[in-house]
Structure 1
Amino acid sequence: LLAGQVSLALVRARIRRLSGRPLIGDDRIVEKLRAALPYRLTPSQEFALGEINADLADPERMLRLLQG
């Protein structure tokens, strides 16, 4: 287990050194997604969506796992 965690930390460190490509767009795709859903997003889902949008706009590579 420790070896797996150490190797994962090394991979993450290597990925973070690589520059990413910021993606800044308008909210058309997000609005289409919201309109297609048969329900409203919860406040937590809206928060997660905002964090993802902020990460996508950042030039640093995003290392994110979305669960739930």
Structure 2
Amino acid sequence: MDERSTARTSSWKSIKASATRRQLATDLEMCMYALTVSSAEPKSIKEAMADSAWIEAMQEELHQFDRLQV
């Protein structure tokens, strides 16, 4: 294997590794997005009030209204 061939192979491996890392980051972002939006919405206020995550989300929204003086 000559020097140019070795350089090309090394360069290709570097590009391929970079693309793989970038794909892993993209896959992770998509997975986190899917987990965020995939939770089922409660069907009634009673269900929402029994779910601590929904209570926290409602409190955060109310806090934003206060902060933005809406």
* TM-score above 0.5, yes or no: no
Q: Which has the higher contact order (CA 8 A, sep 6+)?
A: 1
Could you state the TM-score of these two structures normalised by the residue count of structure 1? 0.30
Could you state the TM-score of these two structures normalised by the residue count of structure 2? 0.29
Q: Over alpha carbons, which structure has the higher Rg?
A: 2
